[in-house]
Amino acid sequence: MQATSQPSRRSLRGLDWFVFFVADVQTGFGPFVAIYLTTQKWTQLDIGLILSLAGFVALLGQMPGGALVDAARSERFLAGVAVAGISASALAYALWPSYPVVLAAATLQAASSCVLGPAMAAISLGLVGHGGIAERLGRNARFASIGNGVAAAAMGALGYLFSARAVFVVTALLFIPTILALRMIADREIDPDQAHGGKPVRATDEQRSLMPAPVALRWQPLIIFGACILLFHLANSALLPLMGSSLTARSPEWSTVLIAACIIIPQLVVALISPWVGHQAKVWGRRPLLLIGLAALPVRGVLFATVTDPWLIVVVQVLDGVTAASIGVLVPLIIADLTRGTGHFNLGQGIVGSTTGVGSIASTTLGGYLTDHFGSMIAFLGLGVSAALAFLFAIALVRETKTEES
């Protein structure tokens, strides 16, 4: 299959809308799962077990999912299969909320998501190449943010006006516009070699003996970068849930509005600045913008620990938007840089995705422990220390990955 030199406007628009609708579909599996299963008279223990299993499958599936995308002949077909799996899971939740069915649906949704994320990034890279991927990832982040915001508002309204079951019916029906958007992307315009990071460079026997496979894949800088992202998520993942509990305790009558604002504000910031981040990553390089995003996180942790006015907390969430835009664009971009010429871009995504999962799971445990034993102020400061370590780690060990060609 031969890719065209420049993707058509139709394919690029199709990718925009595909990213938007995928964000809509994924939003249905956020906090709405716990709400829905609670209305079905599930115990909190059973709900927790289902959510934990989904998280465990998502963690284990990151690297196999990336490797599968690298091995695929058609990234678009694989993305369609993953969307179908997620939609089928939503339909199962809506129609048969029994324990065995929900267990299978949660597993299918988590496994499909492990493929869908790398597939979207692979399609993007396959369409625009390394020279255009920075700005493309910025555009993807904008449409994903808008999709998340629209879906959260729409599904919240559906749950209020109809029932929590309606959220999953609509999530399943979103399969139709998502697939229509995917079909707008011409398969022939996706360069399969570019989508996997470029053709692997074949080494001679002598080079192979001196450069074992892990080095050829550039494991070391990728693992260093993954460790930095682990520290970042160790700090970041628990911050907003802990603040949500704190806001509920301080201002119970306004807690729902405040928490909604804390979610919406960062999404607006991401939608506004993500394309700028992608453009500036080509101009300034990746490292300065990565450091800006990482630096905003410890500041946010300290402000969460010290600011008492609930409405000022909403303002502080602007920093979350800055961080989310920077990290959301730069993580896949830096992975694309580090795996260029290896044919393993999507496996690289899986490796860093695994460190993300480990950091996120450990974050909630760490945050909960610090809150229960030392109070919320110490918890926020403790998470801020982890954020500061991620920033210092990046300064010391993460190098610029931009090349003249990118």
Q: Tell me the pTM.
A: 0.86
Q: Using one digit for the tens of pLDDT, what is the confidence trace for 157-179?
A: 887 788 878 888 999 999 999 99
CB 119 within 8 A of CB 78: yes
Q: What is the mean pLDDT of residues 225-249?
A: 88
pLDDT score of 256: 64
User: For residue 234, which of 383, 78, 337, 97 has the smallest C-alpha distance?
Assistant: 383
Q: What is the mean pLDDT of residues 201-217?
A: 47
Q: How many CB atoms lie within 10 A of CB 43?
A: 10
User: For residue 126, which of 66, 186, 61 has the smallest C-alpha distance?
Assistant: 186
Q: How confident is the model at residue 358 (pLDDT cuts 50, 70, 90)?
A: very high
Q: What is the mean pLDDT of residues 219-243?
A: 91
Average predicted confidence (pLDDT) for the chain: 87
What DSSP character marks residue 398? P
Sign of the torsion angle spanned by Cα atoms 30, 370, 236, 266: positive
CB 113 within 8 A of CB 81: no
Q: What is the mean pLDDT of residues 91-100?
A: 92
C-alpha–C-alpha distance, residues 368 and 375, integer Å: 9
**Residue 198 backbone phi and psi in degrees, to 5:** 100, 160
217 pLDDT exceeds 50? no
pLDDT score of 255: 66
User: For residue 333, which of 396, 285, 295 has the smallest C-alpha distance?
Assistant: 285
Q: How confident is the model at residue 127 (pLDDT cuts 50, 70, 90)?
A: very high
Q: What is the mean pLDDT of residues 3-24?
A: 88
For 273, residues 6+ apart whose C-beta sits below 8 A from its C-beta are 321, 322, 325
Q: Is 202 exposed, middle or buried (0-12, 13-18, 19+ CB in 10 A)?
A: exposed
pLDDT score of 260: 73
Q: How confident is the model at residue 154 (pLDDT cuts 50, 70, 90)?
A: confident
- Please give the domain boundaries of the chain with CATH numbers for all domains: 9-195 (1.20.1250.20), 212-397 (1.20.1250.20)
C-alpha–C-alpha distance, residues 83 and 401, integer Å: 32
Give the count of alpha carbons within 13 A of 143, CB side only: 18
pLDDT score of 186: 93
CB 273 within 8 A of CB 356: no
Q: Which of 38-52, 111-125, 259-273, 368-382 has the weakest average pLDDT? A: 38-52
Q: What is the mean pLDDT of residues 123-141?
A: 93
Q: What is the mean pLDDT of residues 110-133?
A: 94
pLDDT score of 406: 62
374 pLDDT exceeds 70? yes
122 pLDDT exceeds 90? yes
Q: What is the mean pLDDT of residues 99-107?
A: 93
Q: Is 264 exposed, middle or buried (0-12, 13-18, 19+ CB in 10 A)?
A: middle
Q: Using one digit for the tens of pLDDT, what is the confidence trace for 333-357?
A: 999 999 988 888 999 999 999 999 9
pLDDT score of 257: 72
Q: What is the mean pLDDT of residues 266-285?
A: 94
Q: Using one digit for the tens of pLDDT, what is the confidence trace for 302-338?
A: 999 998 888 898 899 999 999 999 999 999 999 999 9
**Selected residue with higher pLDDT from 332 and 5:** 332
Q: What is the mean pLDDT of residues 206-234?
A: 71
Q: Using one digit for the tens of pLDDT, what is the confidence trace for 43-82?
A: 878 887 888 888 889 999 999 999 999 998 899 999 999 9
pLDDT score of 43: 83
